[in-house]
């Protein structure tokens, strides 16, 4: 295993670049063949058994949890530094999982690193970073509960002697099946629709009162543990299960969501690169109407649009990451980068399929499976429409402040 990244700026930049290069080699040589054999279906490929196998290899190569705290074996990369590393990992659908940088664990690490107590860090964060545990973030609920509007939160947390009782139903909880612990959002005060009153709780998965329901069938298949219904039925937790402060959960959600949206962009950008490169390889060898498809004007237009979308997504991503690293909430920057990135990545993969014709929508190339995986990103972590509403609202608010209107 390699030593952690140095603090010397010039040397650090070189070491991060080396980490990205080594991640690239590991993902393309070790992870991609497994993904290809199983058409990107992680359950078919072995699920948690595969995760542990790949993470053991990554740990031996010094690639595990590049974003994780150094004290627990991570590399402690900033948001800006992890962008290219995560992009290289995302080239394979199983790549982020292989280096322990997949959702929801990656976002939960970030949240715990910023909010957890010393005891909570030792109990929950350390095994998560080391790949010894998995986690799930339980916020989304069936309608009319929390979804795009977190304030609609209905799961309740009621005071009892020495702690809290939690009751509620969650939906689309990624990684729930087989998770070792949950971060639960529950309402401790106020009514659904009110902006305050949410609290986060940490709960080991084997605690009485937690029940995993069905796997919700979705188009994507690369997430270990699926997207599940989860029931909290008289779940009793002690006071020290509270993550952060009571009634401050919605504030902590923002600690997690902005960075998590950007790491999603990083990972799916890597998948889009693979789709684009696959199409480029195809059009340079496929001949139509007497010459290579890649020399045809209509194909070149699609290729150029892909190159533009890739470059623009990276640029917006880097702006948002720099803002986060600078201590800003970066709400506007992350909303812009997430909205543009999710849609640009979809366009890149779609154009790549078009360039490859029938092969592009078959399992003979990886493009169809990548399309299947990236489509939900326009919904996950906030639909594009909600982000556009927030982007516009902030712009109007800034204009009124500037003009006094």
pLDDT at 176: 98
What integer pLDDT is reported at residue 3 of this predicted model?
57
| Domain residue spans of the chain | 9-102, 135-247, 250-403
pLDDT digits (tens, 9 = 90+) for 343-372: 999 999 999 999 999 999 999 999 999 999
Q: Tell me, letter by letter, the H, E, C secondary structure of the chain.
A: CCCCCCCCHHHHHHHHHHHHHHHHHHHHHHHHHHHHHCCCCHHHHCCHHHHHHHHHHHHHCCCCCCCCCHHHCCCCCCHHHHHHHHHHHHCCCCHHHHCCCCCCHHHHHHHHHHHCCHHHHHHHHHHHHCCCCCEEEECCCCCCCCCCCHHHCCCEEEEECCEEEEEEEEEEEECCCCCCEEEEEEECCCCCCCCCCEEEEEEECCCCCEEEEEECCCCCCCCCCCEEEEEEEEEEEEHHHEECCCCCHHHHHHHHHHHHHHHHHHHHHHHHHHHHHHHHHHHHHCEECCEEHHHCHHHHHHHHHHHHHHHHHHHHHHHHHHHHHCCCCCHHHHHHHHHHHHHHHHHHHHHHHHHCHHHHHCCCCCHHHHHHHHHHHHCCCCCHHHHHHHHHHHHHHHHHHHHCC
Q: Give the CATH number of domain 250-403.
A: 1.20.140.10
| Alpha-carbon separation of residue 316 from 83, 102, 207, 227, 319 (angstroms) | 11, 21, 42, 29, 5
Reply yes or no on domain 9-102 having CATH 1.10.10.10: no
pLDDT in tens, 148-165: 999 999 999 999 999 999
Tell me the average pLDDT of the chain. Answer: 96
Query: How is residue 161 written in tokens?
Result: 């002697």
* Positions in the chain whose pLDDT score sits under 70: 1-4
CB-based contacts of 102, cutoff 8 Å, min separation 6: 96, 223, 224, 267
Question: Rounded to two decimals, what is the model's pTM?
Answer: 0.95
pLDDT at 10: 86
CATH superfamily of 135-247: Butyryl-CoA Dehydrogenase, subunit A, domain 2 (2.40.110.10)
**Closest residue by Cα to residue 58 from 13, 18, 25, 93:** 25
- Give pLDDT, residue 2: 46
């Amino acid at each position: 295993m390699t030593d952690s990244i140095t603090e010397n700026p010039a040397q650090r930049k070189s070491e991060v670049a080396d980490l990205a290069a080594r991640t690239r080699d590991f993902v393309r040589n070790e992870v991609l063949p497994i993904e290809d054999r199983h058409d990107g279906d992680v359950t078919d490929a072995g699920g948690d058994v595969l995760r542990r196998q790949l993470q053991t290899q990554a740990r031996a190569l010094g690639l595990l949890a590049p974003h994780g705290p150094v004290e627990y074996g991570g590399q402690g990369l900033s948001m800006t530094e992890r962008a290219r590393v995560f992009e290289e990992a995302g080239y394979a659908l199983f790549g982020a999982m292989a280096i322990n940088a997949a959702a929801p664990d990656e976002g939960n690490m970030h949240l715990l690193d910023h909010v957890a107590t010393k005891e909570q860090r030792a109990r929950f964060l350390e095994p998560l970073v080391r790949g010894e545990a998995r986690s799930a973030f339980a916020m989304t609920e069936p309608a009319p509960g929390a979804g795009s509007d977190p304030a609609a939160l209905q799961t309740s947390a009621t005071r009892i002697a020495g702690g809290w009782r939690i009751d509620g139903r969650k939906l689309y909880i990624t990684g729930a099946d087989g998770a070792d612990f949950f971060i639960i959002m529950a309402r401790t005060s106020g009514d659904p629709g009110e902006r305050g009153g949410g609290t986060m709780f940490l709960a080991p998965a084997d605690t009485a009162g937690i029940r995993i329901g069905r796997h919700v069938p979705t188009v994507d298949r690369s997430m270990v543990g699926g997207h599940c219904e989860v029931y909290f039925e008289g779940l009793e937790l002690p006071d020290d299960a509270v993550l952060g402060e009571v009634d401050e959960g919605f504030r902590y959600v923002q600690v997690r969501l902005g960075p998590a949206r950007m790491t999603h962009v990083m990972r799916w950008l890597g998948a889009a690169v693979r789709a684009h490169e696959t199409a480029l390889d195809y059009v340079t060898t496929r001949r139509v109407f007497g010459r290579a498809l890649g020399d045809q004007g209509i194909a070149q237009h699609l290729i150029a649009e892909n190159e533009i979308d890739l470059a623009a997504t990276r640029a917006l991503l880097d702006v948002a990451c720099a803002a986060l690293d600078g201590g800003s909430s970066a709400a506007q920057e992350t909303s812009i980068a997430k909205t543009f990135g999710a849609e640009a990545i979809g366009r890149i993969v779609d154009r790549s399929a078009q360039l490859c014709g029938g092969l592009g929508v078959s399992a003979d190339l990886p493009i169809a499976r990548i399309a299947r995986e990236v489509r939900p990103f326009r919904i996950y972590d906030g639909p594009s429409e909600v982000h556009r509403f927030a982007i516009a609202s902030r712009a109007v608010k800034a204009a009124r402040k500037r003009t006094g209107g």
